[in-house]
Structure 1
Amino acid sequence: MMRVLLLTSLLLTGVRCRMDVFVYSTVGGDALLPCMVSSDCTAISWTFFNKGRDVRFTHEVISGKVKADSEKSSRMTVTSNCSIGLRDLRVPDAGSYVCLRNGEAVTDVYLSLLTITSFSTITDLQPGGNLVLSCIFFTYYDAGSCKSYSKRVFKLSWVDEDGTELSSPNHSRYNLTSHTRCNVTLFTKLQKEDKYRKWRCRVNTTESSRAVFLDFKPVFLLQNTPDDDNLNPSVTAACPVKLPISRIALCVALPVMVFIVGFFTWRSDRKRAQTSADVFKLQEMN
């Protein structure tokens, strides 16, 4: 709020400045990339730059309108205040977005995305199975490496529902492997009480201890364990499937009707064939 008020005062006094804005979201989520201007959007354009493995520089918005040939055109909109909204975020969307007014840069927006990937098979998602979760933070500069920028340092951590880091001595059942500060894999063996548990991957920055987080909640292959069955046997008791009387009668009548129709069709075809043979013999005798 203080930033917005300061920016508003600067705009009202005619002072021009270029501002850095850091936006955090998750893969599959939405993001609003602000352009700190209040002028006519026809003078606004947006560019995109990513310095990852594949260096890319593109124009996304020109004269206040999304370019039709942009890869993000179907997911991008320009708001009334010249900001852009992105939905259904994908890993390649992470990068640096620059808002320009009449060709002059006004706002640099750095979009970073968090994602969780499970390497466990469906048969592993049950008590005794192995749960393997990889959390990666794709930054605007270099995906997964989290190089610092403007004194901002990123760090990933896996935490439980209470916010306690799983690397603490109280959580000895978990093993964590940190490939980089922004690429951390969690290993654990599932227990029965994990049925409704959530594991949270959280991004910590120098400016915020919770810049963004993402939860993973496993769906067990077998929803009811043997202990659950003993507690509530009526829920899992086997019950024979009962069909309505009309449906049973229909199932019995249909084969009978097919047999009758087939039988009379066969007799009719046989009589027709016999008649044709008799007529053919008479013609030969004549």
Structure 2
Amino acid sequence: MADKCHLCLLGLIFLSSLLTGTSGVDDIHVFISSGENVCLPCNNDPHDCKSTTWIYNNRHSAAVELIGLGIKKKDTEKHERLSLGSDCSLNIKNITKEDYGSYSCQQYVDGQHYKEADARVYLHVLHVSPSSSQTEISPGSSVSLSCQLYSSYTGISCDGWIRSEGYQLFWVNQTGVKLTISDSRYQISAPGYCILTLTTTLLNEDDNREWRCQVTHRNQVKTSATYTFRKPAPVDIKPLIPVSSSNSETTSRQTPAAAPEQGSSSLSHISREILIVLKTAAFAAPTVILLQIICARRAERKDLQHQEEIMMNTVLE
């Protein structure tokens, strides 16, 4: 029964390719990893980009017009990341996993849609991320990395298409060596053809180590997404500054520490008073000496006058 379903799936894909071939334009498959920029070609030889319209669609949403007759639509979620190239190609910046799906380049001349000139581009996005339940990534902890290819083709699921076309997902180390389940350090599981998980315990020497997930087709790498482990930076622990507390024990311990400050304050006050006295004495000393000289001279004058009076009285007698 499974073989019949597989044959039926292959028949649908073959029939789809025949129907696409009748338009004279081959479908294009572009593989890209999330976070990168991509350019989707419009291979229908447009004469003027003013006649070009880009339509986006995936199996989970209705068709959305991104570019209408050469003008970017502003009511779309991704309009800020879109631009139209000089050759009418569609440029998308910072690809996300939600950008996967089909992009159709259509031509309108004199208001008429020339379906035979439509060019369809299928965008397949590869995304790698730690498990959503991962709370700490540091040496000694276990980390699970999920690699998933987001893809759809003519309504067929990613698992069905990648299996029928012979695409494969692999985990490789930073030297490009394929990781296998035979390595006891790694546990690799595949919940589906488009999902591949890698679980390992981190070591100190894993700092700046890369693990890369690849999409290959007939031994040719279509795209890859890398996860790099970096040890968290050490946290600086600042010394705690004691804070005064209302606790009586804490207060009693802090009281002796305040005594030297009071003593130093008293000494400082006494020193200032002595300095004032010395300054006053230095200023008053010359004044005292001058007064003493004046008083001495006055005394001498009185003595002279007294002697003169005595001599006069003696002469008169």
Task: Give the TM interval when normalised to the shorter protein.
Answer: 0.5 to 0.7
CA RMSD in angstroms comes to 2.8
- Equivalent runs, 1:147-166 vs 2, <5 Å: 147-148=160-161, 152-166=165-179
SS in 2 for 1:193: helix
CA gap 1:149/1:129 in 2 versus in 1, 3 angstroms = closer
Say whether 1:130 aligns with 2:119: no
Task: Please tell me the residue identity of whatever aligns with 1:148.
Answer: W
For residues 1-286 of structure 1, the aligned pairs below 5 Å read 17-36=24-43, 37-51=45-59, 54-102=60-108, 103=113, 104=115, 105-119=117-131, 121=134, 123-126=136-139, 128-141=140-153, 145-148=158-161, 152-167=165-180, 169=182, 171-206=183-218, 209-221=220-232
Sequence identity of aligned pairs in percent? Answer: 27
1:129·1:190 contact (CA, 8 Å) conserved in 2?
A: yes
Using a 3 Å threshold, how does the CA distance of structure 1 residues 200 and 223 change in structure 2: closer, same or farther? farther
Structure whose CA Rg is larger = 2
Residue ranges of structure 1 left out of the alignment (5+ in a row)? 1-15, 225-235, 241-286
Q: Are the equivalent residues in 1 in contact too, given 2:163–2:193 (CA < 8 A)?
A: no
Please give the per-residue CA displacement for 1:28-77, whole angstroms capped at 9, x wherever unaligned: 221100001241111111111101xx232111111111112122211100
Specify the code of the residue in structure 2 equivalent to 1:62. Answer: G
Q: 1:149/1:216 Cα in 2 relative to 1: closer, same or farther (>3 Å)? A: closer
Instruction: For residue 145 of structure 1, report the CA deviation from its aligned partner.
Output: 3.4
d(CA) in 1 for partners of 2:127 and 2:223?
A: 11
Work out the number of aligned pairs and report it: 208
Contact between 2:152 and 2:158, CA under 8 Å: does it hold in 1?
Answer: no
> Distance in 2 between the 1:222 and 1:90 partners?
28
Counterpart of 1:99, as a letter, is C
Q: Distance in 2 between matches of 1:73 and 1:213?
A: 26
TM-score (norm 2): 0.59
1:236-270, Cα deviation, whole Å (9 max, x unpaired)? 9x9x9xxxxxxxxxxxxxxxxxxxxxxxxxxxxxx
User: 1:124: how far off?
Assistant: 3.4
Deviations 1:128-176 (A, max 9, x none): 210110111101347983332796332211111222221153x221001
What TM-score, normalized by structure 1, do the two folds share? 0.65
Which structure shows the bigger proportion of residues in helix conformation? 2
SS of equivalent to 2:74: coil
